[in-house]
């Protein structure tokens, strides 16, 4: 599929079926790793909302979910500044927290947020990210569950946007040269 979003063209990069397989694989890993526990999903809005919803509904372990909003992107480039637009209102002390991200790019967003989260003393903290750009990583952030490692291309779809649009596609598309 090729689509126009604003002034750019994007083409299919990861299909709906591939995404579903990856989400199923991660949900099975979480079911195993958290058997007998009750993890708290902490979802980083906006981009992660579809991944979080699909992953959450595949889980068999008891789990809770809450949402925060951090942002460091404007247009197609990281602005280099992380802002908290919606704060954390759910107590995480003593909880097994799984942070849910759409994509780890430079790692800055999580690198800055994780210490703040650890101050709140969760029992454990793991990170699940649908996508990881290993070549863009500049900060020491390690994801425990990863859907796909991707090259340094600009991606949209399945929650990811280009200036507000493109989040509704069921597949992931990349910017065409
Ligand atoms: P980081 O702080 O790791 O550099 O960037 C993380 C955030 O940047 C992600 O949660 C996502 O919102 C945004 N981001 C990074 N790469 C892309 C991309 O290829 N496409 C889109 N739409 N957003 C991205
Ligand atoms: Mg994000």
Asked if the structure places residue 158 within a domain, the reply is: no
State how many domains the chain has. Answer: 1
Asked if the structure places residue 111 within a domain, the reply is: yes
Q: Is 46 in the pocket of ligand 1 (CB under 6 A)?
A: no
Asked if the structure places residue 159 within a domain, the reply is: no
Give me 86's structure tokens. 């919606």
pTM for the model stands at: 0.93
pLDDT tens for 33-88 read: 999 999 999 999 999 999 999 999 999 999 999 999 886 555 555 555 565 656 78
Q: Which residues contact 124 (CB under 8 A, 6 or more apart)?
A: 96, 97
Q: Are 67 and 85 in contact (CB under 8 A)?
A: no
**Which has the higher per-residue pLDDT, 81 or 31?**
31
- CA 126 to CA 38: how far, in whole Å? 13
Asked if the structure places residue 6 within a domain, the reply is: no
CB neighbour burial string for 42-72, b if at least 16 within 10 angstroms, e if fewer: bbbbbbbbbbbebbbebbebebebebbebbb
By most ligand atoms within 8 Å of CB, the mutation choice from 44, 48, 73 for ligand 1 is: 73
Asked if the structure places residue 75 within a domain, the reply is: yes
CATH at 78: 3.40.50.2020
> Which ligand lies nearest to the CA atom of residue 104 in the structure?
1
Is the pLDDT at 90 greater than 60, yes or no? yes
Q: Are 128 and 98 in contact (CB under 8 A)?
A: yes
144 counts as catalytic = no
Q: Is 112 in the pocket of ligand 1 (CB under 6 A)?
A: no
- CA 63 to CA 57: how far, in whole Å? 10
User: Which of these is catalytic: 105, 140, 153, 161?
Assistant: 105
Is the pLDDT at 9 greater than 70, yes or no? yes
Q: Is 143 in the pocket of ligand 1 (CB under 6 A)?
A: no
Closest atom of ligand 1 to CA, residue 137 = 3
Asked if the structure places residue 119 within a domain, the reply is: yes
Task: List the domain range (segments joined by +) for residue 135.
Answer: 17-150
pLDDT tens for 156-170 read: 999 999 999 999 999
pLDDT tens for 96-110 read: 999 999 999 999 989
């Amino acid at each position: 599929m090729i689509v126009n979003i604003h002034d750019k063209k994007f083409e299919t990069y990861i299909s709906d079926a591939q995404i579903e397989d990856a989400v199923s694989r991660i949900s099975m890993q979480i079911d195993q790793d958290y058997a007998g526990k009750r993890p708290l999903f902490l979802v980083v809005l906006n981009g992660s909302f579809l991944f979080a919803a699909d992953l959450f509904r595949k889980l068999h372990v008891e789990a809770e979910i809450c949402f925060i909003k951090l942002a460091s992107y404007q247009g197609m480039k990281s602005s280099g500044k992380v802002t908290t637009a919606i704060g954390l209102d759910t107590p995480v002390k003593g909880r097994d927290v799984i942070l849910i991200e759409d994509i780890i790019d430079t790692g800055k967003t999580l690198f800055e947020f994780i210490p703040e989260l650890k101050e709140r003393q969760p029992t454990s903290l793991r990170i699940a990210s649908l996508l990881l750009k290993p070549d863009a990583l500049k900060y020491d952030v390690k994801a425990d569950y990863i859907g796909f490692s991707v090259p340094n291309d600009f991606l949209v779809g399945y929650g990811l946007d280009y200036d507000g649009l493109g989040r509704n596609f069921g597949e992931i598309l990349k910017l065409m040269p």
